[in-house]
């Protein structure tokens, strides 16, 4: 796992007390794991402010217990019929979860680093 942010970085970005009753060290570790799983390109040193801001937002979500939520298997498809010939249907992906506002903001901030760089050429021999 890459360490993009520290507790001090989050304190500087969000101010003291951002973790509420949560564990700030665990929240930052979770945020670093989240960023590591999303970022696909090399990140320059020092870490850009956008990534630190994204990490702070994700750490805040983690401290509130909203980052790595438990998932459950959901119904793949559900249909409700109001009267013969009329129905409403929704399909859910198994194990899907909603993204919080902080996660969506963080994804927007780290977008340039989430795509793989370049083209990979394969050569047959």
Q: Is residue 11 part of a domain?
A: yes
Q: Is residue 81 part of a domain?
A: no
Sign of CA dihedral 99, 105, 107, 111: positive
Confidence at residue 30, expressed as pLDDT on a 0 to 100 scale: 93
How many separate domains does the chain show?
A: 1
Q: Is residue 83 part of a domain?
A: no
Q: Is residue 123 part of a domain?
A: no
pTM comes to 0.69
Q: Is residue 79 part of a domain?
A: no
**Domain region containing 23:** 7-70+98-114
Q: Is residue 35 part of a domain?
A: yes
Q: Which residue has the higher pLDDT, 99 or 31?
A: 31
3-state helix, strand, coil in the chain (%, to 5): 40, 10, 50
What does the mean pLDDT of the chain come to?
80
Q: Is residue 33 part of a domain?
A: yes
């Amino acid at each position: 796992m890459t360490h993009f942010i520290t507790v001090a970085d989050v304190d500087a970005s969000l101010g003291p007390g951002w973790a509420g009753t949560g564990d700030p060290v665990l929240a930052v570790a979770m945020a670093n794991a989240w960023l590591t799983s999303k970022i696909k390109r090399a990140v320059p040193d020092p870490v850009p402010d956008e990534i630190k801001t994204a990490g702070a937002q994700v750490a805040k979500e983690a401290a509130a217990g909203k980052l790595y939520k438990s998932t459950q298997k959901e119904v793949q498809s559900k249909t409700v019929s109001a009267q013969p010939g009329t129905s409403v249907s929704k399909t859910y992906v198994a194990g899907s979860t909603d993204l919080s506002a902080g996660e969506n903001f963080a994804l927007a901030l780290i977008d340039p680093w989430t795509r793989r760089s370049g083209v990979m050429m394969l050569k047959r021999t």
